[in-house]
Amino acid sequence: MTHERETATVTGDRSRADVLARLARMTDPGTDDLTRTLDARAALDRLSGPALLVDLDGTILDVNDQVDGIGVDRALIRGRALWSAPIWANGDASSTLSPLVEAGAEGRAGQRTIDIGGAAPRPGRVSLTPVIDDSRSVAVLLVELRGLADSRETDALIQATTQALAAAEDIFRAVAEHTSDLVCLHDPTGTFTYVSPSCRRLLDIDPASLLGTHPVEVAHTNTRDALVQAIHDAGRRGSEPTRFRHRLRHRNGSFRWFETAITPILEPGGAVRQLQSSSRDITEQRETEQSLIKQAFHDELTGLPNRALLIDRMTHALAASERSNQPIGVLFIDLDGFKTINDTLGHPVGDTALTKVAERLTAIVRPGDTLARIGGDEFLMLCAGTDGARGATAVARRILDAFAQPFVLEGREIEIGASIGIATSMGSEDPDRIIENADTAMYEAKHEGRGRFAIHNETDQSLALERIDTEEALRRAVHNNELRLHYQPELDLESGRIVGFEALVRWQRPDGRLVPPGEFIPLAEETGIIVDLGRWVIAEACRQASLWRVYRTPEQEPVRIWVNLSARQLGDPDLVPFVERTVEAAGISTDEICLEITESALMDDAQAATEQLDELRRIGISLGIDDFGTGWSQFAYLQRLPLDVLKIDRSFVSGLASDHAAATIVAAIIDLAHALGLIVIAEGVESEDQLAVLRELDCDQALGFLFSEPREPAAFDHALNSN
């Protein structure tokens, strides 16, 4: 083998063989990292010439003492690529050494001639030997430098270089002793090796106490990352200074701002010998800058953002709303009768009133929203991520409720009212135009009697009021017997018998219109009405199950009624006791009423939902997943939930007869469900072709318009009687 042939070239020297054996143990998993590192370093030091240990990518892992003899600080080359180490005369030996490393990684030894760097470059030979471990694989690469000039010549060169650097340092220190800036020297890691006397004046810290410490120990938490990055960059950018701003801790605990430049000081071979930093105190300059920024973008009296800052934030909010398809709401708030306060109590009291109004409004603002004062007694509130006029009107109501409480001014209670104009927008509409719309609506509110709000967009206003009316009517409907249950039968595909019904709620409005669930269930979910509505549905389904018992012989399995549970209902702590009481009151068994949830209902709080389902299963309620494939579509959770039934969403069933991919997906779902012991029900079956495919795929049950549309319960009495 190649490994054996090449390794044999180094076995003649017994001590050299020992070195390679010790290096091979670097990959021994039974040895800890520290032990491996120490063994490798000891092995390298046994070699007579400069040597480096390199991984298969060319990164230098360690070097021996002999490398110091060629004028290179070995602490500065660990972790660098072999060809970019400050050893070679041309500074980048990639074209020469990269092929050598690639060959070594494949188990082939080799050597190259290359100029070794320093004050007097001289030719040398790089010899690379792959180190083979016990598994006959290349563990690491041993790189040796041979044929160098006499070490005495090197020592003399190093001594001359060191003397020159020492003289330069003496000059540097003489200058640094008299500068007003904070001037420091650091080792390549950033640790202080010299701190100028100005440290005592700038930070009230003894310079000697910082020696041997790292600057991060006196840096502000928020600027430590910038400091560490600057030190890192200074070691990579040659002689280019690295500039940044950061904060350092004063002895009294405060923090001062500094503008710092870090410059690397290089060895003759190009390696970083140390770093020099010069820091200028810019605390007063920074405070002036921040003060000017605040004056430019904030109201002087209340400290709130002003119109300029509000416009900027509106611009960003509009761009975000266009991406998220969620409109923003802008509320123009004008104080009612504020001029009277100024005229009767004076402007100082008026200013106090404005600050108290600002504080009360600030308590209402949600995180991410903006409250601004745009002049006089006018405020603007930007509400991002609203659902149009309805969300903005909810905020307006909270503001009016807050203003219902009087303000205490000069020891007396003063009532201050507010009129609010609302404008909504989404997309690239001009912010100034939106503010104008809100301003117009505010005057409409004042015209209608003050202490109220108005919506600028007539369509939005109509929809918002209609939605509010619908919400109130729906609350009454739950208690006024306006709800109805329609039922859609589920058939067993083998026997053709009706085995269950899906209960679907309808709203019978007083005007006779039958409202489908899609028009009011989302509103019920959003407002919390769904909890009471859901309880009514469960109770009515249990009542109907008791009536249909007359069509069942003692030996027949019960016809189950499936009721959908929402996420809000799953969060109801009284859900399980309510179901248990309702089933018992109806005189039916728990296997006659079944509950189904959508995948999305589990996403809000999967852990709490699972606990509720476990409790329902404990009392004997059968459980199913509805519309499978439209939510998570993850199979893993099916095994964790206490389920009995899986209902395949109609979007998959609709393509069964014509779409091979849909049929493949449905087949996979059925097979997995059966493997988990679940009954599979296909929803939305509308054609004989779909039914035929479902039977071929061994689907258990189905429902859809092919069998029957949802109807009132009496429509199925005859079918159940002959079931």
* Domain 298-456: assigned CATH number: 3.30.70.270
Residue 2 banded pLDDT, cuts 50, 70, 90: very low
Higher pLDDT, 671 or 74: 671
The mean per-residue pLDDT over the stretch 183-199 comes to 90
For position 151, what pLDDT does the model report?
44
Measured CA distances, 647 to 149, 626, 683, 693, 699 (Å): 83, 5, 7, 16, 10
Q: Is 156-287 in the same CATH topology as 2-149?
A: yes
- Ranking 333-337, 453-457, 570-574, 675-679 by mean pLDDT, the lowest is 453-457
Write down the mean pLDDT value for the chain: 83
For position 384, what pLDDT does the model report?
82
CB 643 within 8 Å of CB 622: no
* Domain 156-287: assigned CATH number: 3.30.450.20
Higher pLDDT, 449 or 682: 682
Domain boundaries, the chain: 2-149, 156-287, 298-456, 490-503+542-721
The mean per-residue pLDDT over the stretch 610-617 comes to 91
Residue 616 banded pLDDT, cuts 50, 70, 90: very high
pTM of the model: 0.44
- Ranking 89-103, 474-488, 645-659 by mean pLDDT, the lowest is 89-103
* Domain 2-149: assigned CATH number: 3.30.450.20
The mean per-residue pLDDT over the stretch 198-220 comes to 92
∠ CA 309-312-318, rounded to 5°: 135
CB 388 within 8 Å of CB 464: yes
The mean per-residue pLDDT over the stretch 5-16 comes to 43
Q: Where are the beta strands (DSSP E) in 217-366?
A: 242-249, 255-266, 272-281, 328-336
For position 11, what pLDDT does the model report?
34
Maximum C-alpha span of the chain: 113
- Ranking 16-30, 166-180, 398-412, 422-436 by mean pLDDT, the lowest is 166-180
Q: Which fold has domain 490-503+542-721?
A: TIM Barrel (3.20.20)
CB 87 within 8 Å of CB 113: no
Reply yes or no on whether the pLDDT at 638 is more than 90.
no
For position 258, what pLDDT does the model report?
95
**The dihedral sign for the CA sequence 37, 43, 44, 46:** positive
pLDDT tens sequence across 531-555: 999 999 999 999 999 999 888 877 7
Q: How far apart are CA 301 and CA 379, in angstroms?
A: 13
- Ranking 230-234, 296-300, 574-578, 583-587 by mean pLDDT, the lowest is 296-300
CB 483 within 8 Å of CB 507: yes
Residue 7 banded pLDDT, cuts 50, 70, 90: very low
Please enumerate in sequence order all residues whose Cβ is within 8 A of that of 111, keeping only pairs 6 or more positions apart, or say none: 100, 125, 126, 127, 128
Q: How far apart are CA 199 and CA 211, in angstroms?
A: 12
Please enumerate in sequence order all residues whose Cβ is within 8 A of that of 68, keeping only pairs 6 or more positions apart, or say none: 74
Higher pLDDT, 172 or 710: 710
For position 149, what pLDDT does the model report?
45
For position 463, what pLDDT does the model report?
59
**Amino acid in the structure at residue 193:** T
For position 333, what pLDDT does the model report?
94
Higher pLDDT, 286 or 238: 286
Residue 470 banded pLDDT, cuts 50, 70, 90: confident
For position 6, what pLDDT does the model report?
36
Q: How far apart are CA 75 and CA 157, in angstroms?
A: 20
For position 512, what pLDDT does the model report?
87
600's tokens: 């999305």
Strand bridging mode 560-565 / 498-508: parallel
CB 366 within 8 Å of CB 462: no
CB 699 within 8 Å of CB 693: no
Higher pLDDT, 713 or 148: 713
DSSP assignment letter at 651: H
Q: For the chain, give the percent of residues with pLDDT over 90.
A: 35
**Amino acid in the structure at residue 344:** T
Reply yes or no on whether the pLDDT at 309 is more than 80.
yes
For position 49, what pLDDT does the model report?
81
**Amino acid in the structure at residue 378:** E
